Structure formats: structure tokens, C-alpha cells
Amino acid sequence: MRALHAGRGLALRGSPCSPGIAHQRGLSVSTQLCRAAGNGAPAPGGPRRGALVVFEGIDRCGKSTQCSLLLESLQRRGVRAELWRFPDRTTPIGGLINEYLQKKAALDDAVIHLLFVANRNEKREEMLRLLAGGTTLVLDRYSYSGVAYTAAKGVPHLDAGFCRAAETGLPAADLVVYLDLDPEQSAARGGFGSERYEKVEFQKKVRSQYGALADGRWLRLDASQPAEQLQAQVAAAVQRAVERAAAGEPLGRLWDYAPMPLPAAVPDVA
């Protein structure tokens, strides 16, 4: 299964005509897909914002499997969507994180934590621009991993409060799909054990941190169900989140869900 991860960190793009692709090629995002600055409500006659959907859970619980199935299902329904992974191992910061996770580099716990935070912040602007332009983003891990994994280390100065504060300024997910699985079961799935945090005892602590983070925007699913069964539940919940976002529900910020201003329209120079 690890072979699937050769491109870990690569933003898996959605429709080839998505604004992300245009941006990747150095083109500006079409004004048609952009929106005026505001509180998240759709501009009159303007595009509807996309939803921010995040998958979380311990190692090997099935996040990447569900993310891919969801992307296909959204695209089949004509929803413009992109799949991203955090950490994004393709950036220079992501490269350092990759070295750390693969145990090729040792880093202080605070330093690696802040690198994960920086890795999200280097994608923040693009994330907001795509959401504002109507693209739904499916994220394979995000800030919630940042809090759960570092807090699970039990380092006194890196508790959950510290970790949450470091995420300030990033958008909150409209929906967190939390795939809950017993670490013993996830370990039995194969491919478990090669990276730094892949130890059953540590994953148990991470699971407990996730339990403390969950709120009303989380959909907790029993990840021991067959993948197709899980996907049906995921798709239904995501559909509702996409509709709420399109109807003008403001994007919230971490951690209080106060409305987050979306970026102003990007001029079309293409």
C-alpha cells in the first residue's frame, strides 16, 4: 500500500479545467471563478464557495482510500473538487517533514510541530482562493492531525492548547470526516510500522487526542466497515456540506468558527 504513497504530498488535482491547474501553470485563476471579498456569503450573481472537507484518523484507518473515492464521486456529480494531502511533502518545508517522518532527520518536537503548521500556511492563500472560486477541497489530514499527533507526545510545553493556538489564521473544516479505528486493527492492515509515529501505543494516544478535539462538525465513522459502505455515508454528509457552502454558509476559522473573509477577485491576465 505504501506504493500508493510515492506521490504523498502531491496535490491530486481534480478536473483538468480547475482553477488550481491554471494556477499551477502560472496562469491566473479566471475571474469567472473568483469572487469579491466578503464574509463568505456568495456575491450577488457570483460564484458559490466550495466546501472544505477534511479526513482525519490514525495511521492506516483508510483516509486516502476514502479521499480518492470521494473525489471520484464528486467529479461524477459535476462538483469541481481537488484532493490535497498534508503534509505536502513536495515543498522545501514538506521535504524536511518527510525526512523527519522517515527517520532520516532528528528534529526538536517544537520545531517539527511548527514545520507542519508552516506547511499548511504555505498553502493557505491557495486554499482560500480555490474555496472562494467554488472548488471543494478534500484534505487528507490537516490541522486536527497537527494537534492530535503533537499533543499525543505529552511534551508539557506542547500541549493541545499550544497546538491549537499555532493553527490560528487557518480556515476550519466545514466537515471533518473522522475515521475511527482501533490501533490494533489499523496495524493489522499492513504497511504499518515504517514511519516515525507508526507504533500502536502512540496511535492509541493520538486516538484519545482526536476524541478530545471532535465537535459538532465532525462525522465519526466506524472505520472497520467495508470501504464502499463507508463511502456511502461520507458522500451523503459531503453532499450536505457542499450544499451549505454553496448556499452561503460562511467559511469559519479555527477554532471558533467566526466567519473568515475570502480573498478578493483575482484579475484575469490570461
Burial 35-50 (b: 16+ CB within 10 A, else e): beebebbbbeebbbbb
> Cell triple for residue 188?
493489522
Nearer to ligand Z5A, 87 or 133 (CB): 87
Task: Give the relative orientation of helices 109-121 and 92-101 as an angle to the nearest 10 degrees.
Answer: 140
Question: From the CB of 67, what's the least distance to Mg ion, in Å?
Answer: 8
Residue 231 interacts with which of Mg ion, ligand Z5A, none, CB < 5 to 8 Å by class: none
Looking at the Cβ atoms of 109 and 243, the one nearer to ligand Z5A is 109
What the block records as the C-alpha cell of 155 is: 511534551
Query: Does 63 participate in binding ligand Z5A (rule CB under 6 A)?
Result: yes
- Does 60 bind ligand Z5A (CB under 6 A)? Our answer is yes
| Contact positions with ligand Z5A (CB under 6 A) in 212-241 | 226-227, 230
CB < 8 Å & 24+ apart, contacts of 96-101: 98/8, 98/9, 100/196, 101/195, 101/196, 101/197
Q: In whole angstroms, how close is the CB of 167 to ligand Z5A at the nearest point? A: 9
What Å distances lie between residue 62 and 68, 181, 214, 228, CA to CA?
A: 10, 9, 18, 11
Contact region for ligand Z5A (CB under 6 A) — 23-31, 46-54, 102-110, 141-149? 141-149
Residue 6 burial class via C-beta count within 10 angstroms: exposed 0-12, middle 13-18, buried 19 and up: exposed
Print the binding letters for residues 128-147 with Mg ion: x by CB under 5 A, - otherwise. --------------------
Q: Select 138 or 265, whichever has its Cβ closest to ligand Z5A.
A: 138
Q: How do 175-180 and 52-56 pair as beta strands?
A: parallel
- The residues in 143-202 that bind ligand Z5A, with binding defined as CB under 6 A, are 145-146, 149, 189-191, 195, 197-198
Residue 248 interface partner, choices Mg ion, ligand Z5A, none, CB cut-off 5-8 Å depending on type: none
Instruction: Give CA separation, 226 vs 65, 99, 114, 217, 220, in Å.
Output: 11, 33, 36, 23, 15
Task: Closer to ligand Z5A by CB, 132 or 163: give it.
Answer: 163
- State the Cα–Cα distance between residues 131 and 128, nearest whole angstrom: 5
| Cβ pair 218, 176 in contact under 8 A | yes
- Which of 18, 64, 66, 203 binds Mg ion (CB under 5 A)? It is 64
Part of the chain binding ligand Z5A (CB under 6 A), chosen from 40-48, 54-62, 125-133, 214-222:
54-62
Contact of 224 with 218, CB cutoff 8 Å: no
Instruction: Kindly identify the residues of this chain, within the stretch 44-63, that bind Mg ion according to CB under 5 A.
Output: 63
Residues that bind Mg ion (CB under 5 A): 63-64
Residues that bind ligand Z5A (CB under 6 A): 1, 8, 57, 59-65, 86-87, 101, 116, 141, 145-146, 149, 189-191, 195, 197-198, 226-227, 230
